[in-house]
Amino acid sequence: MSFPYSGLHCSISDMRPLIEAHRGDSSNAPENTLAAFRRALGSGVHSIELDVHPAMDGTLMVIHDDTVNRTTDGSGYVWDMAVDELLRLDAGAKFDRTFAGEKIPRLSDVLEMVVPTPVLLNVEIKATPAGALVPQNVARLLRRFGKEREYIVSSFDLSSLLRVRAIAPEIALALIGNGPEVLASARRHGFPWIHCNYRTVDKGLVTAAHGHGVRVAVWTVNHPDMLPYWRALGVDKICTNRPALMLAASGGLSRSSAA
């Protein structure tokens, strides 16, 4: 059986679990930047996760927090800032001076980098006071970059996922949260994925999810020596800040070796 996502053509049992780079290769480059995504792609990772917030005009910016304070040399809420203002900020130097000048990317910038590759892209929508139009804008932008391509849109916010489905029902959806609660909701709404805090996942949950056709991802797992445990549980994806190390621990089954 071939794995249906992102042009990965090998046994699904061999591929489990997929390794997903959390905010890119965020242990070796500033999170949610093109540098982090470039390094993740170079590692042979199967999937990349990122977060989006809207700029003042609604442009989708790739950043985890609702403010720029933690990761850049600026301050303020993302949605209170113009795109040009956001693009002038340095999103790299706080991580390491060698990344000085790295910028907050637009989602469109990341799509231009990732879409030509076979890597699965997981776009997390943050529920914020300024984010009412974000689900619609995400769905439309992903469609513009390739309706036939596989994506995952994830969120803690159920209503955001339902708004994505209303515009682009072909996009796979993932509810984020604690295992038992998100599984019940995913079953109710027909979502193909749940993305769970790893502390809330056990064999019973994975078995129940698979019995209902729901795939299970765990976050955020950074210790390669735990990979055999998660593989034994049968989880489908591991979200990690250390993708290269997790890939090495998985026996070297990278995207490039699996294609």
Tokens 């999810």 correspond to 209
- Catalytic residue numbers read 22, 64
